[in-house]
Amino acid sequence: MNPGGEIIDKRILKIENGQCHGDFSLNRIPFYSGFYEVRAYTKYMLNFGDDVIFSRLLPVFDRPKAEGNYEEKNMANYNNLWVSWRFPMERGPLEKKEKSVNVRFFPEGGNLVHGVTSRIAFEATDEFGNPIDVTGTIIDAYGQEVSRFATLHEGKGVFAYTPGDGRRKAVAEVEYLGRKYSFDLPAGLPQGVVMEVDNLSHPDSIGVFLRKNGSTPSGTFSVVVLNGGKAQNYHIVNLENNEIDFTIDKTQLLSGVSQIVLFNGNGEIICDRLVFTESLDERIDITVKTNKQFYVPHELVEMEFTLSEMHSNPGKRSFFTVGKGQRKRG
């Protein structure tokens, strides 16, 4: 990133044995002297904010007047109006302060469809992105209350909603600390298919419900279950009526996050959903024993771990600890 915070180059590097190697060529135009920042991270690290991202500031000096005279270390004069006008020197605010109450809506599968009931997940946060607990009502296009909702955990919740014909907007009225806030709901599509997934009712199967409105033509659809980018299961369904449901054998799926994708007859993705499945054969029980019940800050902690798999068979896994003053024992 240049001194103005603009991204000027990227590299995607393969990590092998905990290391990767790459380089940046300082040959982009315009490329000017100043303090440049190098950031490095994996996709997983992005879940935990900017604090865990590797960052280093590197000074880049002007080309020396005498070739090879690297003791000459001059930078652009940022107080020069011409220089500051031509080259970005200052970054904008790191965090954009939002409204005091923010509510985001996430229709299951991706989209709403006119006249079709869908589940909508929502997330409520304050101006700093912290979760808050709210209650609210859904007001349809004619000013009538059609549903109520409330957060369930960490500012998140879910409710059912049937969008109208799209001529008028429906809104969600949210109440927080005695004040009311209004938010537009996502617009619905005139045609489409809604997919609802039930991963909780039965321990050995996943229920899938497909719904469409009368304006959506009938046709053949395929539901594919992907895990790690590989197909694990599929179903071919003929959606002639406005609703159809079937089950997926959960015991045949790999442990972890699977993606359930609905394709139309042309191979186009209509909607998708993520589910978590767990194989009982891969479940591990961990028992931890410490040398003391209570510790003072920064005191050395000794732990013994016992790992067991199905039928209390001993398990073999690798693990690691992070932080100061910790010791691992396996």
**Interval 189-204: pLDDT, tens:** 999 999 999 999 988 8
**Over 50: is that where the pLDDT of 326 sits?**
no
| Res. 214: pLDDT tops 70 | yes
Written as one letter, the residue type at 2 is N
Say whether pLDDT at 263 is over 90: yes
Q: Which helix (H) or strand (E) holds 180?
A: strand 179-184
Using the predicted structure, report yes or no on whether residue 167 has a pLDDT greater than 80: no
- List, for residues 82-135, the tens digit of each pLDDT value: 566 666 666 665 555 556 899 999 999 888 999 999 999 999 998 878 899 999
Residue 11 clears pLDDT 80, i.e. is over it: yes
**Domain boundary, last residue among 54, 70, 94:** 94
HSE-CB of 281 using CA atoms within 13 angstroms:
6
Domain boundary among 244, 263, 279: 279
Q: What is the pLDDT of residue 135?
A: 94
Point out the domain boundary residue: 141, 164, 189. Answer: 189
H-helix or E-strand spanning residue 294: none
Q: Does the structure show a pLDDT above 80 at 81?
A: no
Q: Is the pLDDT of residue 252 over 60?
A: yes
Query: CB burial class (10 A; 0-12, 13-18, 19+) of residue 194?
Result: buried
Q: Strands 256-263 and 269-277, how do they pair?
A: antiparallel
Same domain, 79 and 109: no
More confident residue, 325 or 10: 10
pTM of the model: 0.59
- CA–CA distance, 23 with 9 (Å, rounded to integer): 10
Q: Which CATH number belongs to the domain containing residue 209 in this structure?
A: 2.60.40.10
**Per-residue pLDDT averaged across 211-227, rounded?**
92
Pick the residue with more confidence: 148 or 51?
Answer: 148
Query: Can you say how many angstroms the Cα of residue 34 is from the centroid of all Cα atoms in its chain?
Result: 34
- Domain of 152 in residue numbering reads as 102-189
- Please state the rounded mean pLDDT for residues 226-239: 89
> Count of domains in the chain?
4
Q: Which is more confident, 284 or 80? A: 284
For position 283, what pLDDT does the model report? 67
Of 298 and 243, which is predicted with more confidence?
Answer: 243
Q: Does 32 lie in the same domain as 11?
A: yes
**Average pLDDT over every residue of 226-249:** 90
- Summarised one tens digit per residue, pLDDT across range 131-141 is 999 999 999 88
Q: Are residues 147 and 201 in the same domain?
A: no
Mean pLDDT of 158-175: 86
Asked if the model's pLDDT at residue 25 lies above 90, the reply is: no
255, 275 contact by CB (below 8 A): no
pLDDT, tens digit, for every residue of 140-152?
A: 888 889 889 999 9
Pair 146, 175 in one domain: yes
For residues 220 and 149, membership in a common domain is answered with no
